[in-house]
């Protein structure tokens, strides 16, 4: 079944951003209405806010992966992101759970993220044919002296010129039904149009196969347990490019190199003045976010996080520079390496404050009151206890860092927990 088509999608400056605004490499996830269609609720390629998870792996993981490491209760899914990587034979999704229990706020383990992979045989075959044709072309074509900059596979179309070392096929948070392979990133079209023909011929077949696989999975006892877990109402998660107003020619006060996360610059890094204090970092955060107030997710695989404030997490990710250097830059080596393959971790995405507003944690949490007959006094005590614990999520931002190698040990399926760093509200 094809993923939901974003009919209102546009990457033009006219709709998103004002004339003269600068487009960044960051993709912003925004809420786009309730998910009502049953086929979308069951489709892992439909990115979402809230709802129940839909896993790529043939056997869903145990519900313990969603448990808060503090209260041990199951947490609600706050987002599921469909995020396959360009030219990878692996279908890919990210799942993020967060605890709304007031006692668990400002404690590690109350937000958890998992990376899910599944080998896509048909897309792998297309990649092999593509590689074989390119190899053949090298043998018959004369080498060129300069090829110029490559187009950015991270973008939705040729209008996005920013470059990124980690590209995502087509739209990050979903695919279109007509032009794309429904279970894979779309490969570049070769001159002979072979991949295009393959995609058109197999689209219905692959969609039917995926639907059958999901139908079989939903019969799994573990999946039935997942359906009983607490959940927020499911919302579509759509994506737009981030646009920022151009910086004034004469800079004053804070002089920050926006780097790859702030504009169409090549090879730059997010940098901060070494003397920046908490208020200045927070001010910069709010100024950046104000350019698109609806953003719930910031996504830039291999990019730079946007720090919420100058706390210990900021000091860790943007360490004090050595003598003679006045700016702090994002330092991925400060992160723990992948526990499975030992590769460095890189920034992938972060949860934004508006996500808490959208989820409406207090009203959507659902009652945990005992169902058995109890006295009025006992019920009143239970209500007071529940209300006391329903203070909701209090983070300013939660940043997810994933394996840079996107490792999949057996090359078939993999479900692995990734690193989450949280900056809490002061």
Which residue ranges make up each domain of the chain? 22-424
CA 176 to each of CA 170, 233, 238, 396: distance values in angstroms, whole numbers, following the listed order:
8, 24, 12, 33
List the chain residues with pLDDT less than 70. 1-18, 142-222, 250-278, 324, 361-391
- CA R_g for the chain: 23
* Rounded-to-integer distance, Cα 272 and Cα 356, Å: 27
Q: Which residues contact 89 (CB under 8 A, 6 or more apart)?
A: 119, 120, 121, 123, 124, 127
Tokens 């698109």 locate to: 292
Q: Which residues contact 186 (CB under 8 A, 6 or more apart)?
A: 169, 170, 179, 180, 199
Q: Are 187 and 87 in contact (CB under 8 A)?
A: yes
Q: What are phi and psi of 128, to 5 degrees?
A: -65, -45
Express each pLDDT in 273-289 by its tens digit.
Answer: 666 666 789 999 999 99
* Rounded-to-integer distance, Cα 202 and Cα 232, Å: 35
pLDDT given for residue 209 in this prediction: 60
Q: Tell me the pTM.
A: 0.74
DSSP class of residue 345 equals E
Express each pLDDT in 316-335 by its tens digit.
Answer: 999 988 776 778 899 999 99
* Angle (nearest 5°) at CA 137 between 133 and 140: 145
3-state SS, residue 224: helix
């Amino acid at each position: 079944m094809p993923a939901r088509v974003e009919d209102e999608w546009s990457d033009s400056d006219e709709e998103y951003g004002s004339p003269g605004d600068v487009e960044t490499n960051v993709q912003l996830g925004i809420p786009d209405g309730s998910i009502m269609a049953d086929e979308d609720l069951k489709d892992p390629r439909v990115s979402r806010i809230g709802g129940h998870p839909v896993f790529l792996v043939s056997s869903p993981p145990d519900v313990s992966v969603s448990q808060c490491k503090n209260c041990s209760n199951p947490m609600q899914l706050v987002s599921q992101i469909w995020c396959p990587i360009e030219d990878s034979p692996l279908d890919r999704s990210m799942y993020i759970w967060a605890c709304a229990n007031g006692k668990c706020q400002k404690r590690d383990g109350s937000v958890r993220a998992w990376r899910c992979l599944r080998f896509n045989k048909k897309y792998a075959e297309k990649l092999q044919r593509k590689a074989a044709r390119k190899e053949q072309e090298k043998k018959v074509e004369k080498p060129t002296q300069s090829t110029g900059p490559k187009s950015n596979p991270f973008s939705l179309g040729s209008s996005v010129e920013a470059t990124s070392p980690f590209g995502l096929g087509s739209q990050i948070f979903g695919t279109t039904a007509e032009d794309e392979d429904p279970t894979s990133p779309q490969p570049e079209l070769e001159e002979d149009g072979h991949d295009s023909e393959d995609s058109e011929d197999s689209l219905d077949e692959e969609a039917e196969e995926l639907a059958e696989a999901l139908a079989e999975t939903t019969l799994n006892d573990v999946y039935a347990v997942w359906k009983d877990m607490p959940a927020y109402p499911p919302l579509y998660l759509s994506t737009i490019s981030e646009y920022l107003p151009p910086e004034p020619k004469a800079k004053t006060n804070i002089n920050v190199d926006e780097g790859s996360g702030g504009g169409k610059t090549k090879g730059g890094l997010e940098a901060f003045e070494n003397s920046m204090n908490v208020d200045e970092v927070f001010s910069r955060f709010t100024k950046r976010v104000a350019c698109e107030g609806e953003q719930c997710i910031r996504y830039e695989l291999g990019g730079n996080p946007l720090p919420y404030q100058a706390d210990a997490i900021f000091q860790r990710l943007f360490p004090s520079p050595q003598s003679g250097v006045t700016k702090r830059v994002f330092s991925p080596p400060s992160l723990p390496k992948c526990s499975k393959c030992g590769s460095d971790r890189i920034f992938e995405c972060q949860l934004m404050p508006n996500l808490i507003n959208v989820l409406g944690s207090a009203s959507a949490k659902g009652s945990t009151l005992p169902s058995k007959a109890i006295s009025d006094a006992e019920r009143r005590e239970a209500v007071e206890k529940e209300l006391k614990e329903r203070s909701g999520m209090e983070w300013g931002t939660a940043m997810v860092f994933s394996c840079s190698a996107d490792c999949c040990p057996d090359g078939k399926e993999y479900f692995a927990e990734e690193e989450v760093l949280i900056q809490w509200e002061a």
